[in-house]
Amino acid sequence: MTETSVGRRRRWWIVGAIVAAVVLVGAAGAVYFAVSSNAAVSVALVPSSTPGANPFTATVASATPDAADTVVQKSAQLRKTLPVAKATHTPVATGTTPGLYGGSGDAQVCDPQKLVSFLTANPAKAAAWARVLGVRAKNIGAYVASLTPVILNSDTLVINHGYRNGAATTLVSVLQAGTAVMVDATGTPRVKCNCGNPLTAPQPLSLTAAHVVGKRWAGYAPKNVIAVKPGASGGDLQLVDLGTGTVYQQAVGPVTALWAAASWSTSTGTSIVDQTEVWTSADGRSWAHVATVPHELISGLGYANGHWVAVTLPPVFDVPQSDILTSADLRTWKKAASVPGQLNGVAFGGGRWEAVGDAPAGSLGYQSQAGGAGIVYSSSNGSDWRPVATVADTSKYGLTGLSSVAYGDGRWTAVAGIALAPPVKVYGSTDGEHWTPQAADALENQTGGAVTYGSGTWLINANTHALPDPLTFTPSPTDGLADTSTDGASWQTAPAAGLEGTRVEAAGYGSGRWLVATEESDLPNPMHALVGSRVASSSDGNTWAMIGQIAGPMGAIGYGAVPSRGGATAPPTTPSATPSAAPSPTPSPTAAAGSPQCSADLLKAARTRAGLDGTIDHPQCSGTWAIAAVILQQSEITAVFEWVDGAWTVRSRNNVCAENLLPADLVQLGCHSN
């Protein structure tokens, strides 16, 4: 979400102040302005929550958060810098002005495909709709695909075209700030999302002289209503995140808003995790598996400027070095960098990426403090990284490294904490390079700690501390906590209703709510490959509801977008990936494609093709699924197989059990054994 310079401004000249309002729409939708002060003009006030008169369609707007106070303040400051039409005293903004429009973390605030589908099914409305915008009805799909869904940050003057008696209507309107619209590449509003109405640009006019119809909302004032003129199309728009106030770069055209999660799994069926499974969800409830990232354990996930950045844990018993990965679509990942230390979290803000973690003792000139030291890396593009700070702590507890980082309202906040021992420490920075302790003793008896920012509130999801059983060393149950702050320095702690008996492992914020991934807090082995994570949601940070489940222990949760595929609102579910396999050196036995044959030899052949070893014992089959005990050199595991194209294929046990794919007679042994 980088900030770039304002696009080139086109010369714009105003024709006579008393000329009647004229809006000419050409075949390409170009708009020409004239200025009017005609008191006879009628202007409708349209609140953001209402479709207004004569809607073309049902709403195609998505749920969006209210603008944080810092966004409201920045929008007011921006209006003061706009040129004002002398004859009408109307502020006029160029459509590509950075921060003119808002979004919910670079995500979708309207559903373009829903609009296209409706118009396709209603040819008469489609013809009228297309005529307003100067496009052919058969090209509506392509035209809508070129628009970008945004949120108005200021009350905005438009010509609003409804539909009545088989034809488009025309009404000069003021759309309230907070209204979801779609804009073209010049930043000109073209569609009002909660009614589907096409929009065209009006002439600036004097609202104090016009006949205004409709109830005025709180904060409405004629001097604060802006008009928008086309900007220079540069391939992207600079929007402001309504929750954090961060200005970020949005590619022109629709994107698919989604949650992303990274869980850990095993490629061999053992209890040792060695790869990451990537999941996506439109609502946090239903999760689709989209990728397997081999040989990497993703521990932090962030999104900005059209790409995702992930940080990973170092390999066990290897050089303490973490990889940094990037992806545009969450399906294909590439390694951008490797850095010394263990990275635990990543976020974007203020024009830069920040990754935090544990500094290796003695590396990069850093000296290991009692308990360790935190490390901070920074990047302007997500690919080139440099160390910018260490955070050393000499308190009685020492420091275990930084576990999470977030940006909001012009400042950074990072926390240090581990899963089973207190405290949670908080650090703040305004530039990402100079860090100071915050609320040193406020979170002294808490463990873990994942920090996020949204809707003007900092939130740390931490856990209560309970000593393990002194005889068995089994962890005692803990409860989730909600630490909140409005400034990042002073924190208040409260029980998180709905997170009792859980341990929070990852957290994210997007589209007006928080999501956390939790594990049952009394599990004896939180790193076990078969442990599933439950997903909880909250709109206020205090009251939580369990809404979903993901296979495996959780590494990270994030919110962002991927390029839309044909206007789809959610990525398609893909088959769960299996470990990459070397070709078998000898022909593998198969059976007839029509009927699965359940034998140890066939299941053994499936593991051989997958590059896995072990002896098959006690195979059990039901339909197109099979489970079997696999005897390894020093252990025994349960493996899952699926009959595909006339042969058995090894399937990820985590994914199969999480998606409830096994027949009922195989579930107990397949999903609840070792």
The arithmetic mean of pLDDT across residues 90-108, rounded, is: 83
Residues 6+ apart with CB under 8 A from 84: 90, 91, 92
| 610 and 504 in a common domain | no
Interatomic CA distance for residues 331 and 224, integer angstroms: 44
CB-based contact 435:428 (threshold 8 Å): yes
| 540 and 609 in a common domain | no
Residue 475 predicted with pLDDT over 70: no
Q: In the chain, how many domains are there?
A: 3
pLDDT grade for 617, boundaries at 50, 70 and 90? confident
Burial per residue of 358-375, b for 16 or more beta-carbon CB atoms within 10 angstroms, e otherwise: bbbeebeebeebebbbbb
| 269 and 204 in a common domain | no
Q: Is residue 13 part of a domain?
A: no
Q: What is the CATH number of the domain that holds 384?
A: 2.120.10.80
Q: Is residue 490 part of a domain?
A: yes
pLDDT digits (tens, 9 = 90+) for 513-543: 899 999 875 554 444 445 678 999 998 899 9
pLDDT grade for 404, boundaries at 50, 70 and 90? very high
Q: Could you tell me which residue, 522 or 559, shows the higher pLDDT?
A: 559
Residue 593 predicted with pLDDT over 60: no
| 332 and 232 in a common domain | no
Q: Is residue 569 part of a domain?
A: no
Query: How high does pLDDT run on average in the chain?
Result: 79
CB-based contact 81:50 (threshold 8 Å): no
pLDDT digits (tens, 9 = 90+) for 3-45: 333 232 222 222 232 223 333 333 333 333 444 444 567 899 9
| 262 and 239 in a common domain | no
Decide: helix, strand or coil at residue 657. helix
- What pLDDT, on the 0 to 100 scale, is given for residue 1? 37
Q: Could you tell me which residue, 42 or 312, shows the higher pLDDT?
A: 312
Q: Is residue 4 part of a domain?
A: no
Q: Is residue 18 part of a domain?
A: no
Q: Is residue 591 part of a domain?
A: no
| 359 and 262 in a common domain | yes
The arithmetic mean of pLDDT across residues 142-146, rounded, is: 85
CA atoms within 13 A of residue 264's CA, in its CB half-sphere = 24
- What pLDDT, on the 0 to 100 scale, is given for residue 631? 78
| CB burial of residue 42 (10 Å; 0-12, 13-18, 19+) | exposed
Q: Is residue 14 part of a domain?
A: no
Residue 374 predicted with pLDDT over 60: yes
Residue 146 predicted with pLDDT over 80: yes
The arithmetic mean of pLDDT across residues 495-523, rounded, is: 84
The pTM assigned to this predicted structure is 0.61
The last residue of one of the domains, among 561, 585, 615, is 561
- What pLDDT, on the 0 to 100 scale, is given for residue 503? 86
Residue 180 predicted with pLDDT over 60: yes
Structure tokens at 454: 């949204």
| 493 and 608 in a common domain | no
- What pLDDT, on the 0 to 100 scale, is given for residue 361? 58
- What pLDDT, on the 0 to 100 scale, is given for residue 75? 93
The arithmetic mean of pLDDT across residues 497-514, rounded, is: 88
- What pLDDT, on the 0 to 100 scale, is given for residue 21? 34
| 279 and 228 in a common domain | no
- What pLDDT, on the 0 to 100 scale, is given for residue 399? 58
- What pLDDT, on the 0 to 100 scale, is given for residue 350? 78
| 214 and 294 in a common domain | no
| 213 and 187 in a common domain | yes
| 261 and 203 in a common domain | no
Residue 428 predicted with pLDDT over 50: yes
Q: Is residue 9 part of a domain?
A: no
- What pLDDT, on the 0 to 100 scale, is given for residue 478? 79
Residue 479 predicted with pLDDT over 70: yes
The domain in which residue 279 lies consists of 256-561
Q: Which of 47-61, 234-248, 302-316 has the lowest mean pLDDT?
A: 234-248
The arithmetic mean of pLDDT across residues 155-180, rounded, is: 95
DSSP 225-253: -BEEE-----SEEEEEETTT--EEEEESS
The last residue of one of the domains, among 510, 541, 561, is 561
| 155 and 125 in a common domain | yes
Interatomic CA distance for residues 588 and 68, integer angstroms: 61
The last residue of one of the domains, among 535, 561, 587, is 561
